[in-house]
Structures are given as C-alpha cells and as structure tokens.
Chains A and B, each alone.
Chain A
C-alpha cells in the first residue's frame, strides 16, 4: 500500500458503518444529479459496503452512469453529498481521492500511437510529480498490473492495434496500476463478445476475491450482473427501485416494473444465481 492511501484510510475515523457492521466506503446522501436544467437523478441514497461487488442495473437512460459519475466525483450533485470514507468527496483534494478511488469511464479514449505500457503507466499519475515520473514503486506497480491482466507481452504494442478484449484489459490494468482499493467501472463489457465479457468479469471477480477490492459497476446484461455481483442496485427513472442480493432483486415483478419485460426467472444451472429468460415486452 502506498503511504498516501494509508494516510487517507487512517484518517477516516468517522467512516460510517453499515447494518451488519461492515464499513461504508461510498455513500450517496439525498443526491440530485443532472446536466444543466435537466434533473436525471433526484433524492437518491446509496451505500457501497467495503469488500462488495455492486452492479447497477436498469433500462437505458435511467441514470445509472450518471450515478456512477457522481460516485467518482466526475459530476457534482446539485443537492446532497457523496461521502468517501465519511468525508465529502468534493471537499477532498482530487489527487488524494485518486489514490483511494479509481474509475474507468465508459468507452475511454487513448491518444493515437500510445503503447500499452505507457497507458498503464499513466495510472500512476496520482503518485507522481513532474520531476518524479517513473520511480521504482511506479515500475513495480505497472509490471504487476500488466501481469495481473495478462498483457505483459503486449506492453510495447500500440493500444489502437489491440482487439476489443485486450484493449479493455489494458484499461482495467491502468486502473489497477493506480493502486486504489475502490474501483468504479462504467459498462466495462460494452462492445465485447460474450467470451470477452466473461473474461473481464472474471477479472473483476478475482480482484474482489483475491485482493479484497470494492467494485461498483454499471452493467447491461442482467444474467452476468446476477452472476458476478454480490449486490444489485436496480434503477428506474433516476430512482432506486430495489437493491440487495441478486436473488432478491431479480424477480419477475421487478423485471416487469423496471424494464417492462415479461420474463421467467429460473436458477442458473452453473452458478445458482437467478437467470432471466425473456418472454416478450408487453
């Protein structure tokens, strides 16, 4: 752990505690979010508990990504607050936040001709200064992040030459190199085929199980969300409709209410999680 992250965590004596005694890492308190005049999310509360993988689901335009952006201090709430370890995230120095919380925007863009090594190394930015751009710690963290995502041998390849799955792993690798124990991923599986979607989500699962990372991600695929997340947050029109364990959230009435979808929910024969089989839209 880097000194920065350590102090950031040690300071938060007032970090709130969830119902079962688990620490609340991120908390949204009555937030209103929007762009200009348009309000997308209003009066929303959410707790993200230490060591969980939370998936936010909901129909297009329900405010999932907006919520995630607010949790990652990319969007400032017009009302209410986002708390990181009990402190208002907007009042913390953004560089300090970056040592605790990493995020991967939806469809991030890399400059043309950039190599994978340089991309992943950029994740060390919060730990660097203009005169200290490639310390021993940086190099170790980057080498490990590359190894973790299995792209060490691609380090010298330009990012724009990679396949979709490789590229997504490179970006996740960058977020890893940042060395934060909180990760926000906005639709990390977009544009990937099923095998690559599973590959990326397995990576997330390993991060959680082996590294104890806390992950919040926006996902479109309900079945994958149910399998790889241990908490689901279902949103509709800027409100949270249901949250909890996948089996409690993915129900036939909820699918009807949130997605307007007639579906049967059966048990996934592989993972034992709920599996949605669509019947049709009403």
Chain B
C-alpha cells in the first residue's frame, strides 16, 4: 500500500532540504527540541535584572544597605544587624513580590495562549477580583474573630476558592460550542464589574476597622509580607510551573483553534481545562498572598513574547519578567513618593494601563490592515 510518511522523493518536487530553516534541532538521546538562542538570552538577561532588582529593593529603606553588602548577606556573610534587617524584614517582602509576580505572569501566559487573546488575563477578566471578593467577604463577615491562625489559613484558601469559582463561572458563561477569545474577555469584564460592585457593597457594610484592612488588601500590597507569605506561593510555583511547562507542549497545538487541534490528536477540552486550572490556581494563590496586583499577568507575558519573538507567550521568560516587574514596581512604590508608601498594585496599574491601551491600538491596526 502506498501511504508512506517518508516515501521516495517525488521527481516533480523541488529539492528536499536537509534541515528546516529556522528550526535548529537540539537532540540528546530521546529528548529533542528546537534550539532557540534568543529565548535563552532573554531568560538569562531577565534573570540578571531580577537579581539586581531584588538586591536593590532589599537594600533601599530606612537603613540603606549597599548592593555588595546585600549580595554578601544573601550568600551567608554580613553583620548580625544587616542579617536581621535583610533576612527577616526585607527579603521575605521581596521574595513574596518575586513569587507573586512570577505566578501571575505564568497564569497570564497560559490564559493568553489558550484564549488566543492577550486580554484574557486573570487580572482583566475578573479572576483576581473573584479571589478578592472572597477574601473581602471573609474579612468583613468574619469580623474581629478573624485573626492569627484563622486569618493566615482561611484568607488564602478563601481567595483561592473565590478565584476558582469566578473562573468556572466565566468559562461556563463564555462557552458556546467552544471558547472564543473575545467572548471570554467580555464575559470576564462583566463578571469583574459585578465583583467590584460586591466588594464595594461589602466595604460599605463593614465596620471601619475591617473596611480599612480590606481596602489595603484589594489594592494589592506587599507591605509586611513575611516568610509565611513566601511559602505557599513558593510551593504552588514549584508544583505548577513544571506542570505548565509540560502542558505547554499541548498549548502550542491549542493555539490553532479547536478544530485543528482536535485534528492533531489533542483532547482539547481536557487539556484546556487542565491548563486553565493551573492558571487559576496560580493567580488565586498569588492574589491570596498579596491581593490583586494589577496588570502583571497581562503585561509580563506580552513583554516576554515580544522580546523572544515567538507566536505565543513563553512560560519561562514570562515568569522571570513578571517577577522582576513586580519587584521593581514595589521598589518604586516604597521609595518614590517620599514618606508615603503606595500599594504595589497602584504602581503596576499606572505603569501597565498605558501599555494595555498601546496594545489595543496596535492590535486594532493590525487586525484591520
């Protein structure tokens, strides 16, 4: 039967190239992939920026510590007072920012890929606000009883559940014979509006003290974050980022639309649900730790994609860039406004929104060209 995958060369066909241009192979045993030097370069450079940003963020403050001293302390040196300030006070805060930013960015990268739309980020379509609404509900209705252990355990879990519920509702409402990117975004904006209204209502119902706590929380703050905030996001990232990297193989096929992906043998609904679950848990955990920090999930994957020059956001580069972005925003929020310390979410919003507008304008132009 003549149905070969690699038949003899067709005489009429043009000369078959040995290699496929633009896809240099990388092969070790059974492992193989395409070698893309630009990805590696971007990853390395952004890692360097991240480390410098953390060092700078840890160094700046009421007791300024130089970058060399900071780096020395991080690898085990430094005097006791410096060690205390850095390791107990400032480093956990920076690490929380780093991990939260990374988690949000990976979440955004996944969602943007499966919706095939940069605007389908968890911070635009209401997933982070779902987490916020749940957390604020707990703060307000839980009242003064909600302190210590309950607050430490209950709040993140409530936020996580809130994010998941919001995601399921949005996905369910946007599903009509498959998922269409724009419908997902618009349904998400609708849900987001409702959640904001709910939160506003809760803030009115609440006692003054709780309202104040909730207000700080919903602005997305890294203030007073300790090791107890670092651990959960760290664990989530340790588990979910490798999962995302494995699943990202399928993501490549999902980008082509449902029919093509099914034709390529992808179990579309299952793969997409799994990916969405990973993305939502990442966003939920991040929001639980630091509140809904705006725009990191939207912007970081887009920056990463443009730097790498790929057709979808790369997971690794998004992670590092999101982490660096959040730490830098925190540095600005802490130090740029004199005595006042802004929540990091305000800085990311003011920096990120113009980028979103730019994206809309250029996207519109391309779509119409």
Consider the complex of A and B and state whether they touch directly, i.e. have CB atoms less than 8 Å apart: yes
Residues on A lying within 8 angstroms of B by beta carbon are: 1-2, 5, 9, 35, 50, 69, 72-74, 93-99, 102-105, 108-115, 117-118, 120-123, 125-126, 128-144, 146-148, 150, 152, 155-156, 175, 178-179, 181, 206, 210-213
* B16 near A139: Cβ-Cβ < 8 Å: no
Q: Given A9, A108, A121, which contacts B20 in the complex, CB threshold below 8 Å?
A: A121
Which A residues are CB-close (under 8 A) to B255? 111
Any chain A CB within 8 A of the CB of B27? yes
Q: How large is the interface on B (under 10, 10 to 19, 20 to 34, 35 or more residues)?
A: 35 or more
Known A117-B23, A134-B34: A5·B5 in contact at CB below 8 Å: yes
Q: Could you give, for residues 104-123 of chain B, a 1 whenever the CB lies within 8 Å of some chain A CB and a 0 otherwise?
A: 00000000000010000000
Question: Within the complex, what minimum Cβ distance (angstroms) separates A177 from chain B?
Answer: 9
* B13 near A143: Cβ-Cβ < 8 Å: no
Known A69-B259, A111-B116, A147-B17: A118·B311 in contact at CB below 8 Å: yes
* B5 near A126: Cβ-Cβ < 8 Å: no
Cα–Cα distance between A210 and B10 once the two chains are bound (Å): 8
Cα–Cα distance between A2 and B1 once the two chains are bound (Å): 14
* B256 near A108: Cβ-Cβ < 8 Å: yes
* A125 near B265: Cβ-Cβ < 8 Å: yes
Question: Within the complex, what minimum Cβ distance (angstroms) separates B172 from chain A?
Answer: 16
Interchain residue pairs with CB less than 8 A apart (21): A72-B262, A94-B262, A96-B265, A97-B265, A98-B264, A99-B265, A102-B263, A105-B263, A108-B257, A110-B311, A111-B116, A112-B366, A121-B23, A125-B266, A142-B20, A144-B9, A147-B17, A152-B21, A155-B20, A179-B5, A212-B1
Which B residues are CB-close (under 8 A) to A141? 5-6
Residues on B lying within 8 angstroms of A by beta carbon are: 1-7, 9-10, 12-23, 25-27, 30-34, 116, 177, 245-250, 252-253, 255-260, 262-267, 309-312, 366
Q: Given B7, B19, B23, B258, which contacts A211 in the complex, CB threshold below 8 Å?
A: B7
* B311 near A112: Cβ-Cβ < 8 Å: yes
Cα–Cα distance between A250 and B335 once the two chains are bound (Å): 80
The residue of chain A having its C-beta at the shortest distance from the C-beta of B2 within the complex is A212
Which A residues are CB-close (under 8 A) to B32? 131-136, 138
Which B residues are CB-close (under 8 A) to A5? 3, 5
Which A residues are CB-close (under 8 A) to B177? 35
Question: Within the complex, what minimum Cβ distance (angstroms) separates A195 from chain B?
Answer: 18
Which B residues are CB-close (under 8 A) to A2? 5
Residue in B3, B16, B177 whose Cβ sees the most chain A Cβ within 10 Å: B3
The residue of chain B having its C-beta at the shortest distance from the C-beta of A113 within the complex is B311
Cα–Cα distance between A206 and B246 once the two chains are bound (Å): 38
* A122 near B256: Cβ-Cβ < 8 Å: yes
Cα–Cα distance between A156 and B2 once the two chains are bound (Å): 31
Known A1-B3, A212-B3: A94·B25 in contact at CB below 8 Å: no
- Interface secondary structure of A, over-half rule: mixed
The residue of chain B having its C-beta at the shortest distance from the C-beta of A157 within the complex is B22
Query: What are the 9 tightest A-B residue pairs by CB atom distance, in nearest-first order?
Result: A98-B265, A181-B3, A212-B2, A179-B5, A95-B265, A105-B259, A130-B249, A114-B311, A126-B265
The residue of chain A having its C-beta at the shortest distance from the C-beta of B263 within the complex is A103
Q: Given A95, A108, A125, A134, which contacts B33 in the complex, CB threshold below 8 Å?
A: A134
Which B residues are CB-close (under 8 A) to A210? 10
Cα–Cα distance between A108 and B253 once the two chains are bound (Å): 12
Cα–Cα distance between A177 and B265 once the two chains are bound (Å): 14
* B249 near A133: Cβ-Cβ < 8 Å: yes
The residue of chain A having its C-beta at the shortest distance from the C-beta of B258 within the complex is A74
Q: A1-B5, A121-B23 are in contact. List 9 more A-B contacts (CB 8 A).
A: A103-B263, A112-B366, A120-B20, A131-B31, A136-B32, A139-B23, A143-B16, A148-B10, A175-B263
Cα–Cα distance between A141 and B23 once the two chains are bound (Å): 13
Which B residues are CB-close (under 8 A) to A148? 10, 13
Which A residues are CB-close (under 8 A) to B249? 128-130, 133
* B13 near A123: Cβ-Cβ < 8 Å: no
* A143 near B19: Cβ-Cβ < 8 Å: yes
Cα–Cα distance between A50 and B267 once the two chains are bound (Å): 27
Cα–Cα distance between A139 and B32 once the two chains are bound (Å): 11
Question: Within the complex, what minimum Cβ distance (angstroms) separates B272 from chain A?
Answer: 14
Cα–Cα distance between A142 and B16 once the two chains are bound (Å): 10
Which B residues are CB-close (under 8 A) to A110? 256, 311
Known A147-B16, A211-B4: A134·B259 in contact at CB below 8 Å: no
Which B residues are CB-close (under 8 A) to A175? 263
* B259 near A108: Cβ-Cβ < 8 Å: yes
Cα–Cα distance between A137 and B25 once the two chains are bound (Å): 12
* A74 near B262: Cβ-Cβ < 8 Å: yes
Question: Within the complex, what minimum Cβ distance (angstroms) separates B69 from chain A?
Answer: 42
Cα–Cα distance between A5 and B15 once the two chains are bound (Å): 26
Known A128-B249, A211-B3: A146·B20 in contact at CB below 8 Å: yes
Which B residues are CB-close (under 8 A) to A102? 263
Cα–Cα distance between A59 and B81 once the two chains are bound (Å): 83
Known A97-B265, A131-B30, A147-B14: A109·B5 in contact at CB below 8 Å: no
Cα–Cα distance between A177 and B251 once the two chains are bound (Å): 19
Question: Within the complex, what minimum Cβ distance (angstroms) separates B179 from chain A?
Answer: 14
Question: Within the complex, what minimum Cβ distance (angstroms) separates B39 from chain A?
Answer: 13
Which A residues are CB-close (under 8 A) to B260? 104-105, 108
Residue in B263, B266, B310, B312 whose Cβ sees the most chain A Cβ within 10 Å: B263
Which A residues are CB-close (under 8 A) to B5? 1-2, 5, 137, 141, 179
* A126 near B13: Cβ-Cβ < 8 Å: no
Question: Within the complex, what minimum Cβ distance (angstroms) separates B353 from chain A?
Answer: 22
Known A108-B256, A114-B311: A132·B3 in contact at CB below 8 Å: no
Which A residues are CB-close (under 8 A) to B31? 131-132
The residue of chain B having its C-beta at the shortest distance from the C-beta of A212 within the complex is B2
